Amino acid sequence: MPTYEFRCRTCDDTFEVRRSMSESGDPAACPDGHADTVRLLSVFARTGGSTAAAPFAPSAATSSGGCCGGGCGCAH
């Protein structure tokens, strides 16, 4: 079930609510009971995993003199 982040405009507290996607637009009261809340835009990030490539790992092409490791004749 997705988690949605909200901020209370009364007390400025940030809190999370777990609910179904069909209820994602429903209002949420803050834990202190205030009703003036706004849903925040959250960014989903997935880290790790065996299928993710390392962002700056040298590839076979660059470590063995391939393009652009100096062996392809390109103008670097």
Domain CATH for 21: 2.20.28
Cβ-contact 4, 42 below 8 angstroms: yes
Contacts of 21 (CB under 8 A, 6+ apart): 2
| Inside any domain, residue 70 | no
Domain range enclosing 27? 1-42
Residue at 61 is within a domain:
no
Number of domains in the chain: 1
pTM: 0.55
Helix (H/G/I), strand (E/B), else coil: 32: coil
Scan for tokens 């777990």, then name that residue: 18
Q: Do the domain assignments include residue 59?
A: no
Model pLDDT for residues 29-41, shown as the tens digit of each residue: 999 999 999 999 9
Model confidence pLDDT, tens digit, residues 42-72: 776 667 765 555 555 554 444 455 555 555 5
Q: Give a yes or no: residue 19 inside a domain.
A: yes
Tell me whether residue 17 is in a domain.
yes
Instruction: Match 């009261």 to its residue by tokens.
Output: 29
Taking the alpha carbons of 1, 8, 26, 24 in that order, is the dihedral positive or negative?
Answer: negative
